[in-house]
Structure 1
Amino acid sequence: MHFSIPNRSSDHTTLPGSPTFKAKSRASSHRTSYGPSFLSRILSPILHPLPSSAGGGGGSTAFEKKRRATRRTTTSLLVLVIFVVALFFFALVWLISSSGSGRSANGPHVVLVLGIDDLSYKDDYTNRIIANRQEYANAHGYALYTEKLSKFQTMVKDPRKKEWMKLPLLRYAIAAYPDSTFFWYLDQNAIIMNPNLSIEDHITDPRRLNSLMLRDIPVVPPDSTIRTYRHVPADRIKFIISQDHEGFQTGSFILKNEEYAKYVLDAWSDRLYQEYSFKKAEESALEHIAQWHPTVLSKLAVIPQRVFNAYPNGVGDASYQDGDFVASLAGCDTPERSCVREFERLWDSRGRVVPQK
């Protein structure tokens, strides 16, 4: 009986890992590789132009002219494509940054926020305050958000401490105008005395704000260890406030509508602060936050009190003078004083809107 043994040299099957298999794989990959990319075909005439012919023949010259024209056309098309792509990229970045900062063509740039103490004051008094704010808002294209403080009684720890109600009031205002940029809270017991000054020109413009910022001063006067930053640029500021001789004065302040504002309002209105026996309630709480949270202080600017919170009965730099923006009756709701009487003394001397020509 005869058995034939197969000849391995004639077997066309190859095992993976063998030299023959690797060689075939390389050959196969060469045969199936893709041709030049689209970009390389465009750039080839520019990066690797054919050498000009030394013979100077007519046909060669015509061919060379055609090659140059093709290169010029290709270069122009490439530059145009790069320009369009760059333009699209910058437009996309601008749209994203604009939406992130809360700016929109559909919302007023500034919103005035006013809380009305409907439980302690008569309508005649509060209606004139609303009219004062509305006149100013209309003159500059701003919005006025006003609510009765009684709406927020259940949102604070102690309804008798009405000063805490400005915080949920502000959150409601931001929710009502999500596309607006600046929110100016001004206490009820204050009068806009010079309505021809805009918030932008008078305060928030970066160049103007940079000249107003009080740098390296104690957060709590006269000598607290924590001081305002010296080198923060004005365009990074999100919170603008003033001080009186005791510290932060929260009767007038401006918040920029970004995540920072929501963070500050959330931290500031924490029930633990409301339960603590701070000497000045919400003002002391804000001073505490600013001193112990660099995230807050690094974007907060203290500006001179007379800029938007002058006291008619103040002294020195805090004292109201004719032509000042705002007269604040802070502390008038005490037995020794009367908000209504002080308001009446100032009401008729306030400035009126001058129509723009």
Structure 2
Amino acid sequence: MSTNQRFSLPYSKGKLDDLNDVESHSEEYNNTYKPIKHQSIISRIRSYINQIISRTTNFALTYKKISLLLVTLICLSLFTSTPFIPHFAPTSPKVVIILAANEGGGVLKWKSPQEWSVERSSIANKKQYAKLHGYGITIKDMTIKKRYSHEWRESWVKVDIMKQAMREFPDSEWFWWLDLHTYIMEPQISLEQHFLNNLENATYRTLDGFNPLNLPTTIPYVDYSQPIDMVITQDCGGFNLGSFLMRRSSWSELLLDIWWDPAMYEQMHMQWEHNEQDALETLYSTNAWIRERVGFLPLRLINAFPPGACNDQADDPQYFFKNHDFVINMAGCEWGRDCWGEMEHYKALSKNLHKSWWHFW
């Protein structure tokens, strides 16, 4: 019997051509009705986004007035205080840096190129530090202004500026005043890390250990259990206000009001050599409620001096800058020293102290 012979089953047509037709039809079916593969997640997302954009566009074109009203309300909510939609404004900074400068020109005279350079360097330094740690910064004009009709009070301007800054940042806690001739040498250290998180242990409250002006060490009714609302330093000339901090409180508001009182100025301005500094020293010496909330930091913690400052104490290391001190204060450089040279020196020193090991230039 031939192996190629085919046998017909009872219900088959028994024809080879018919079998071939069935096979060809099955191939046709498979090719024509092949199942569709599932779309990827990205394709689905794109499809949904395109649908949303299409529907939004159609709605905006169909209902133009309603669309314009919605856009207006959203803009009012995001950029004004109109509370239609929750605002997404950033939280207020805990610390605000106050830098007294005069970006528009000279204070008593036209500024030289070196003075412009000092100002730019100081401002850039504070802006970079504030940005690094999420602090606020406000730059206040130090142009001399006649605050009252009968007097010039340029030396009291930092008291007024401190009050302005507290109004400008109503939800911030600490306000750090810095003179223009200062430079933050260790920008990687935050104030919280440096001393704010351990304020009671970082400061001293009485003048028993260090008292360059021989102020009264004790007065009646002082309660040193009160919190610290003002942080300052002492140098060879007394209180130093080139770098100091104030915490927002009712105590601070009252102190600033009294410190700015023109009656005090009128009585003592001929006797006070350092004006607002002498006024604060007098208030501290005679008022228990002021003394009990003032904390002193060692000078080099926020106010280190360069050589040339405090000449009469040139051998005392507690005043003068050493590598990795936090802030350098070039106090008095405009009186016989080179402010620009000192600023450039400490800028370069700070850069060199924090140069990465892989940098060779």
Aligned equivalent of 2:252:
261
Counterparts of 1:158 and 1:128 in 2: how far apart (Å)?
33
Counterparts of 1:105 and 1:260 in 2: how far apart (Å)?
28
- Alpha-carbon deviations, 1:46-95, whole Å to 9, x = none? xxxxxxxxxxxxxxxxxxxxxxxxxxxxxxxxxxxxxxxxxxxxxxxxxx
1:70-219 equivalent positions in 2, closer than 5 A: 106-117=91-102, 118-120=105-107, 121=111, 122-150=115-143, 153-155=145-147, 158-159=151-152, 162-205=154-197, 208-217=198-207
8 A Cα contact 1:216 1:230, kept in partner? no
Counterparts of 2:233 and 2:253 in 1: how far apart (Å)?
20
8 A Cα contact 1:215 1:230, kept in partner? no
- Indicate the SS of the match to 2:145: helix
Aligned equivalent of 2:342:
342
Counterparts of 2:99 and 2:124 in 1: how far apart (Å)?
11
- Alpha-carbon deviations, 1:322-343, whole Å to 9, x = none? 1011000111121x22322221
Counterparts of 1:269 and 1:231 in 2: how far apart (Å)?
25
Aligned equivalent of 1:239:
230
8 A Cα contact 2:177 2:242, kept in partner? yes
Shift of 1:142: 0.2
Counterparts of 1:269 and 1:220 in 2: how far apart (Å)?
25
Higher mean C-alpha displacement, 340-349 vs 284-293: 340-349
Give unmatched runs, 5+ long, in structure 2: 1-88, 310-315, 357-361
Confirm or deny that 1:327 pairs with 2:328: yes
Aligned equivalent of 1:100:
none
- TM-score, normalised with respect to structure 1: 0.63
- C-alpha change, 1:211 and 1:197, in structure 2 (3 Å) is same
- Alpha-carbon deviations, 1:258-316, whole Å to 9, x = none? 11111111111121333322022111110001111111111100110011000012542
- TM-score, normalised with respect to structure 2: 0.62
8 A Cα contact 2:222 2:292, kept in partner? no
Counterparts of 1:292 and 1:261 in 2: how far apart (Å)?
17
Shift of 1:203: 1.9
Aligned equivalent of 1:7:
none
Aligned equivalent of 1:318:
319
8 A Cα contact 2:222 2:289, kept in partner? no
Aligned equivalent of 1:224:
215
- Alpha-carbon deviations, 1:224-276, whole Å to 9, x = none? 2234999734x710000000022100111100011111111111112133332
Higher mean C-alpha displacement, 117-126 vs 181-190: 117-126
Shift of 1:211: 2.1
Find 1:272's aligned residue among 263, 267, 272. 263
The CA RMSD over aligned residues, in Å, is 2.7
- Alpha-carbon deviations, 1:127-147, whole Å to 9, x = none? 221110000000100011112
1 or 2, which has the higher helix percentage?
1
8 A Cα contact 1:220 1:248, kept in partner? no
- Alpha-carbon deviations, 1:173-196, whole Å to 9, x = none? 111101000000011111011111
Letter paired with 1:113: I
Aligned equivalent of 1:62:
none
Counterparts of 2:236 and 2:281 in 1: how far apart (Å)?
14
Shift of 1:164: 1.8
8 A Cα contact 1:191 1:326, kept in partner? yes
Counterparts of 1:294 and 1:136 in 2: how far apart (Å)?
36
8 A Cα contact 1:241 1:248, kept in partner? yes
Aligned equivalent of 1:303:
297
Structure 1 vs Structure 2: percent identity of aligned residues?
26
Counterparts of 2:322 and 2:185 in 1: how far apart (Å)?
10
Give unmatched runs, 5+ long, in structure 1: 1-103
Q: How many residues align?
A: 246
8 A Cα contact 2:305 2:330, kept in partner? yes
Letter paired with 1:320: F
- Alpha-carbon deviations, 1:194-220, whole Å to 9, x = none? 111111121211xx2222222431585
Shift of 1:105: 7.7
4+ residue stretches of structure 1 with deviation over 6 A?
228-231, 352-355
Letter paired with 2:199: L
